[in-house]
Amino acid sequence: MNAHDCLVIAHRGASSYAPENTCAAFDLALAMGVRHLELDVQMSRDGHLVVIHDDNVDRTSNGSGAVTAHTLAGLHALDAGAWFDAKFAGERIPTFESLLDRYKGRAHLHVEIKGKTAGLAERTADAIRKHGWAQDVTMTSFQKSKLEELRAYAPALPVGWLLQNIDDAVVSEARTLGIAQLCPRADTITPQLVERLRTEGFNVRAWGVANEDLMRRMVASGVNGMTVNFPDKLIALLRGT
Ligand code: G3P
Ligand code: CA
């Protein structure tokens, strides 16, 4: 595979430079020339889809407590930018639907079903359908149950399975579920693994690319793409600059 074919996916936006999972981070990624944005979806207490990574708001806002303990209004009142840098004060935890509106036609979203709330995967698929995004999303999760729900409820949506480790059982389950993309943790990926999975027809997408060394190893191993917090550096590497 030509290195230029490696997909650059901004992980929670350009999250090395702006507060993760906020419009500031997603806008910055687009400004860097990235079309693929990764984000995490959870549900508020009153059933709204919100974009935040952790199960609680403590790390990435000025609030505290579980995401599922807050209403949407309560989440919206939180500052999701100042923890990262004072210049981002006023950034909000976005709703998933606001991002579907904001980036329609400008991005491909890699949507991770992060929360464990019942119905989260179906509600996320409903929002995607309602906003006419079905052609430009890839659904992902570490939770096999959520992937099964997605395959049953919205079989047209492409799915990637986020994995800590890959073994034969996982490969066989992925095939049975009709999952075309496998997403191993970057530090478990070797050229041999990529070759094997690609020969078996899977798209191989890395996550957990913690530093530039690992990023270079991923490109050399022939992965189809990776999420990365510093997409500008991956773009430069692929361009050979
Ligand atoms: O690329 C997938 C990656 O986002 C999974 O890990 O913890 O950042 O959601 P995490
Ligand atoms: Ca994620």
Digit-coded pLDDT (tens) for 94-108:
999 999 999 999 999
Is the CB of 123 inside a 6 Å radius of any atom of ligand 1?
A: no
Is the CB of 112 inside a 6 Å radius of any atom of ligand 1?
A: yes
Name the pairing type of β-strands 36-43 and 49-51.
antiparallel
Nearest atom of ligand 1 to the alpha carbon of 40: 9
The fraction of the chain above a pLDDT of 90, given in percent, is 97
Mean per-residue pLDDT for 100-119? 97
Is the CB of 40 inside a 6 Å radius of any atom of ligand 1?
A: yes
Q: Which of 162, 183, 214 to probe ligand 1 with, by most ligand atoms within 8 A of CB?
A: 162
This prediction has a pTM of 0.97
Whether residue 241 is predicted with pLDDT greater than 90 in this model: the reply is no
Q: Compute the distance between CA of residue 161 and CA of residue 25 in angstroms, rounded to an integer.
A: 24
Q: Compute the distance between CA of residue 50 and CA of residue 63 in angstroms, rounded to an integer.
A: 15
Mean per-residue pLDDT for 115-132? 97
- C-alpha 207 to ligand 1 mean position (Å): 6
Nearest atom of ligand 1 to the alpha carbon of 9: 1
Residue 5: predicted pLDDT: 87
Is the CB of 50 inside a 6 Å radius of any atom of ligand 1?
A: no
Q: Compute the distance between CA of residue 103 and CA of residue 27 in angstroms, rounded to an integer.
A: 9
Looking at the chain, which runs of residues are DSSP E strands? 7-11, 36-43, 49-51, 108-113, 137-141, 159-163, 181-184, 203-206, 225-228
Ligand at shortest distance from the CA of 40: 2
Positive or negative: CA dihedral 135, 140, 144, 146: negative
